[in-house]
Structure 1
Amino acid sequence: MKLKSTIYPLTFVLAAMPTVALAHTGVGENSGFFHGFTHPISGLDHILAMVMVGVLAYQLGGRALWLVPMAFVLAMAAAGALGAAGFDVPFVEAGIALSVVVLGMSVALSVKAPAAVVMAIVGLFAVFHGHAHGTEMPDNAGSVAYGAGFMIATALLHVAGIATGFLIGKVGEQHSSRVVRTSGGIAALAGVGILAGIL
C-alpha cells in the first residue's frame, strides 16, 4: 500500500478547512480557534480515541485510510454544532470512554470490516466527542473558529495515528502487526481505566 497516494485526500480535507484571521487575543475568533484546537488535545480520552481511529484506518487500508477519519470529523462537527446549540445527548462521558475501549480493541484484534461499517461505528462515537466539544465552547468564542479548531486538531490526531501505523510497519515488517495491535490493547485498557474513573 502506498501511503503517499492515500494520504492526499486527508491533506485536501485539512487544506479545505476555513482559515481564521487572528487579530485579537482572548475573545472572538482567536479565542474560538485556540480553545477549539486545544480541546481535543487536552484530554487523554480524546487523544487515544483520535489516534486509534487513525491506526484503525491504516490497518484497513485502501479508501478506508481517508474515509474513516473523514466520517469521524464530519459526524463530530455536526454533533458539536448540536451541543453548542444546547441539544442534549445522554451518556456523553461514558460514550467517549467506550470509544477508546472499542477502537483500541478493534486495533488490537485487527478487525477487518467493510469501510462503511467502520465509518458508521466511528461516526457514532464521534457524536459523543463532538457533543462534548460543542457544549464546552466558551461563551466568548467565535463558533466557526472554535469548530474549525477542534476539527483540525482531530484530523491531525488521525494523521498521527495513520503515521504511527505506517512508521511501525516500516521499522520492522516482521513484528509490526504485533506492535500495532499491542498499542490498541494498551489504548483499550486505558479506556477501561477512564470508564472506571481511574484515569
Structure 2
Amino acid sequence: MASRLMATGILGVRRDVRSFIEVSSGEVRALAERLRRRTPIETARSVYRFNVRNVKYPLTSDGSPAAGFEVKAYPWLSIGLFKLYLATYSQPYAWLLPSQVLKLGYGLCADTSNLCTTLLRVLGLEAYTVLGVVEAGEGFYGHAWTVVKPGDRWLLMETTIHRGRPPLIPLEEASERLGIGYLEIARFDEARLWVDERLMDRYRMQMARLLGKVEL
C-alpha cells in the first residue's frame, strides 16, 4: 500500500488520486441508482454503456480529436441541458472529477475510468481504477482503465480505446483479445491505493504524463 499518489486537476490543483473516486457526489450517486440493474454483471454493463453513449473523447484547442493532453474549456455555468461558457480556460492536461465529466460530457482515459469506477463503487461493486502502460506497436503509453469484480472473476472495463469491443473481458484474457498489452502499475478506489514502485520508476515518464506532468 502506498501513502499517496498525486494528479493534477482543474486550475492546476494537485489532488490525491483517490479523491477522484467521487462517491460522495449527489449527482453521481443519483445517476448510479438510475443505472442499477437486477444483477451485478448487468449493472456493470449498464455503467459501461452509459459511458460509451454519453461521454466523448475531448478535442484539443484547434478542434482536433485529442491524442494529447489539453483541457479546452470549462463550463462555469450550466442551466439544464445548456452550458454557458462565461470564460474559456485552457491548461495542460488535467484530471476531471466524475461530476465534472458529467457536466462537460467528455473525458480522457483517467476521467472515464474514474467515472466508471465511482459509479460501480456507489452501486456496491468491487472496482478500481488502474493506472499503467499499454504496449502498442513499438512503444509504451500511459493509460488508465477500470477493473470490476461483479462475480468471482476480475473483469477489465476499457473505457476509452476499445469502445466497440465487448464491454467486460476477463482480466487475464484482455491483452490477447484486444491486441494490446496491459501492464498495471497502480490501482485505487476512494480509500485504498496500491503502487508497484519498481514499475513506477521504470515507466516514470509515461506515468508523469498520465498524472498531469507532476513530480512523482
TM-score (norm 1): 0.29
**Higher percent of residues as helix:** 1
For CA contacts below 8 A with separation 6 or more, give which structure has more relative contact order: 1
* Bigger fraction of residues in strand: 2
